[in-house]
Structures are given as structure tokens and as C-alpha cells.
Amino acid sequence: MSLREIALRVATPRGHFIGTPEQIADRFQQWLEGRGSDGFNLFESVPGQLELFVDEVVPILQKRGIYKTEYPGTTFRETLGLDVPGNCNTLRRAIAAE
């Protein structure tokens, strides 16, 4: 299998969810709670569907406690609880100032 074929296989959307917002939220909940899934990669197959998902399904998932309503940090690094790595230029200046 070529690298291109592997990339296409990984990037090709699978498992379409079709239904009302409540039905789609039910399916997401089943996958998250019953099948060991910890998240989803969403692909917009029809323009406008991602916004519809965010506006209609995400609030249902939030009410059910499945989707976060806020994050502890203002950056991805803070949300993950990671320290800010030292900047080599800042460290050099600090050493030179001593």
C-alpha cells in the first residue's frame, strides 16, 4: 500500500450520522459511553452542515454533560496543563544580564 493510499484511507470519512439533532446526539452519546470513543473528527459533506451541527447538536451534548461548555485555560497549552517552555533567546538574555 502506498503512502497516498494510506493517507486517503485515514482521511476518508466513515460512519455518517443522519437524523434529528436529538437522534444524532444519542448516537454520539452511545459511541462515547459504550464503545470507548474519546472524540470524533467531523467532516462537512454538505456546506453549512458544520454550523448546523454546532448550533443544534452541540447544545444537546453540553446539556447531557458530554461536551464541555468551557475550558480551564485560555490557550490549548493551558487547557492541557502544560508549562510554557523556556525561550532560548530569553534565557540567553537572562544569563547575559547576570
Highest mean pLDDT of the ranges 51-60, 63-72, 86-95 = 51-60
Residue 90 has pLDDT above 80, yes or no: no
Q: What is the pLDDT of residue 45?
A: 78
Cell triple for 20: 434529528
Question: To the nearest whole number, what is the mean pLDDT of the chain?
Answer: 84
pTM: 0.65
Q: What is the pLDDT of residue 13?
A: 65
Q: Which of 55, 50, 64 is nearest to 13 (CA)?
A: 50
Q: What is the pLDDT of residue 58?
A: 96
Q: Following DSSP, what letter does each residue of 35-97 receive, concatenated?
A: S---------SSTTHHHHHHHHTHHHHHHTTSS-S--SSSSHHHHTTPPPPPPHHHHHHHHHH
Cell triple for 95: 544569563
Q: Following DSSP, what letter does each residue of 12-31 receive, concatenated?
A: S------S-HHHHHHHHHHH
